[in-house]
Amino acid sequence: MTGANSQRLFHEAQAYIPGGVNSPVRAFRGVGGNPLFFKGSEGAYLIDVDENRYIDYVGAWGPLILGHGNKKIVGAITEQLQHGIGYGASTEAEVKLAKKICEVVPSIEKVRLTTSGTEATMSAIRVARGFTGRDEIVKFEGCYHGHSDGLLVKAGSGALTLGKPDSLGVPEDYTKLTHVLPYNCITSAEAFFSQNGDRIACVIIEPIAGNMNLVTPLPGFLEGLRALCDKHGVVLIFDEVMTGFRVALGGAQSVYQVSPDMTCLGKVIGGGLPIGAFGGKQEIMDMIAPLGGVYQAGTLSGSPLAVAAGICMLDSISDPKIHKDLAETTQRLMDGLKERAKSNNIPFTTNHVGGMFGCFFSEEETVSTYNQVMSCNSHSFQKYFHFMLEQGVYLAPSAFEAGFMSIAHQEVEITATLNAAEIAFSKL
């Protein structure tokens, strides 16, 4: 149940903010009820305006690898505040962060900072078009790359159908430049490229899909895309806004050993503050103004506060033990959830990589396609979400969002979560 103060604030918010939220993902439309309003956080916990504490598996949608209120991150931000909030000019810290990104992600030879992941993906596609001299792009079902017009596209009736707008206000003629293919189906991609490869500027993909819950690439899928892009002179863009530095220090590309031409980053490199970035091969990145003819700009790009937090974050997670511990904790939670679901005869399975995970109410042993995700029992998830909330566990309020682990989640939080899940599964 949403507390009285959250109810009051939501009622007031609806008078001034569309739907009462500043991002649809915060709404509870996918699970029913009204959203919670939070006032504080600590370690693995969120605290709402009614003083309820929740074990948090949203983690600001991914960046809080170190947990809420990490003293090092807060200290870095506080120190920068003493010198200034922003200058609208270059800083030494920007160079330091850019250098660190290039060192950690070998496929990135040069990088440009932005203020959001949407800016990063939008800009990367523009650069790829400028580099290749082509207009059309390819994306995949279930992958989300921000809310720019050309990417808000759904598949239509067939895998090779030209995209149709997935939002009002997006011109259909614009999205005709976007083709949507099925995720994890390399044969469809091969068939499409055999007919259209010379017209495609870029392929953009979440190497691990984190916006249809969590779906991992099947063996050979990313490798197959790399080969197709090489064959047809197409720029391969990995959208690692969610996975970059989260599933491994070098991102998903280091996990699967597939090197893209360009990479989009965000979230983690701001330590929780707004930031994004895109980078790649030097010959591609040198197409950007002031060196080249592709225009991209941002007044607040490289915000001193976000950059300070980002440098501290990347320094803090450079120890290999961080990601090892994250992966082991996530594995322990997923195994425990499956055991409790099985003991209560609930069809349930999970996917996970590093500190990211996905849970599916499905009869399938493995969920690896968009159609499998869409056939999961969303009604069971809705009830599960509220049962877990009652037990003090905050999950993403949607069956189509990934979950995130932090190093602040210790044995006590995992045990409490599994105890809550036992109660939730028994009520389904």
Longest dimension (CA), the chain: 61
Whether 239 is catalytic is: yes
User: What is the rounded distance in angstroms from the CA atom of residue 16 to the CA atom of residue 153?
Assistant: 29
The residue annotated as part of the active site, out of 239, 256, 261, 384, is 239
Whether 427 is catalytic is: no
Task: Please name the amino acid found at residue 126.
Answer: R
DSSP state of 359: E
416 contacts 227 by C-beta, under 8 angstroms: no
Structure tokens at 149: 């017009």
Tell me the three state secondary structure of residue 46. strand
The residue annotated as part of the active site, out of 256, 267, 370, 394, is 267
Task: Please name the amino acid found at residue 206.
Answer: E
Beta-strand relationship, 276-280 and 235-239:
unpaired
The residue annotated as part of the active site, out of 45, 57, 144, 384, is 144
User: What is the rounded distance in angstroms from the CA atom of residue 401 to the CA atom of residue 211?
Assistant: 5
Could you tell me which of 418, 230, 419, 224 has the C-alpha nearest to residue 330? 418
Whether 267 is catalytic is: yes
Tell me the three state secondary structure of residue 41. strand
User: What is the rounded distance in angstroms from the CA atom of residue 337 to the CA atom of residue 203?
Assistant: 35
Enumerate the active-site residues. Answer: 144, 239, 267
